[in-house]
């Protein structure tokens, strides 16, 4: 994992957060704080709004409540913090007609910045040697690995991950834990919604948010 770190301490602060979808309140009065170097694990039963919470943070759903983003003590505007975010939802944004390398190259270009070589990222996602393979032929687990490989090609300080280890094998589970570990040890933050246990190293700064508890 790159250890060069991110400039400026990132801080995400949410107060009084609520979410209404289809006239139904999904969650209400959620508050938390995460900073660079920390991971926030969001837990909760199905339908308690884990994905909705991530989508609110990613700016894909309207936010009711206060969400503030800071970098190095300075408040960030929406376009500013949008450029810090990697959002990996359950839709994996993979084009079947493109090869694995083309898919990653596209996202690397879209997210800008210095990119790890594509072949390298595929290697680490355990998809090495499949560069010129069409993404449409991948299995569900491999597709998920490919979408997580986006995290590797462009370092960004904020990761919003929705069920990052779904469809993955045991080795994949450990890989996801290593990814998150690497992200927080280089000063980034990760908000992860999951049902699974993520084996982060002892001493890792992990906070937990339980949704759906009154």
Q: Which positions lie near another protein, rule CB under 8 A?
A: 21, 55, 58-62, 79, 82-83, 85-87, 89-95, 97-98, 102, 105-107, 109-113, 150
CB of 160 to another protein, least distance (A): 9
Q: Per-residue DSSP letters for 103-120?
A: HHHHHHHHH-S----HHH
Tokens linked to 200:
């982060």
How far apart CA 148 and CA 164 sit, in angstroms, is: 8
CB of 106 to another protein, least distance (A): 5
How do 189-193 and 38-43 pair as beta strands?
A: parallel
How far apart CA 100 and CA 4 sit, in angstroms, is: 27
Nearer to another protein, 34 or 200 (CB): 34
Nearer to another protein, 107 or 200 (CB): 107
CB of 210 to another protein, least distance (A): 24
Nearer to another protein, 111 or 199 (CB): 111
Q: Which of 149, 160, 165, 151 is nearest to 197 (CA)?
A: 165
CB of 139 to another protein, least distance (A): 17
């Amino acid at each position: 994992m790159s250890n060069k770190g991110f400039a400026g301490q990132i801080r995400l602060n949410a107060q009084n957060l609520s979410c209404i979808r289809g006239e139904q309140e999904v969650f209400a009065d959620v508050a938390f704080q995460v900073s660079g170097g920390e991971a926030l694990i969001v837990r909760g039963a199905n339908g308690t709004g884990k994905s909705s919470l991530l989508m609110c943070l990613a700016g894909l759903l309207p936010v009711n409540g206060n969400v503030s983003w800071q970098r190095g003590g300075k408040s960030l505007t929406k376009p500013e913090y949008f450029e810090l975010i990697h959002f990996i939802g359950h839709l994996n944004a993979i084009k079947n007609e493109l090869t694995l390398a083309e898919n990653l190259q596209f996202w690397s270009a879209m997210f800008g910045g210095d990119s790890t070589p594509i072949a390298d990222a595929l290697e680490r996602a355990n998809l090495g040697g499949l560069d010129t393979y069409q993404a449409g032929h991948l299995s569900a687990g491999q597709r998920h690995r490919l979408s997580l490989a986006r995290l590797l090609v462009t370092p960004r300080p904020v990761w919003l991950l929705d069920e990052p280890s779904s469809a993955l094998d045991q080795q994949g589970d450990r890989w996801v834990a290593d990814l998150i570990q690497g992200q927080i040890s280089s000063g980034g933050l990760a908000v992860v919604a999951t049902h699974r246990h993520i084996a982060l190293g002892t001493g890792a700064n992990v906070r937990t948010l339980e949704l759906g508890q009154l």
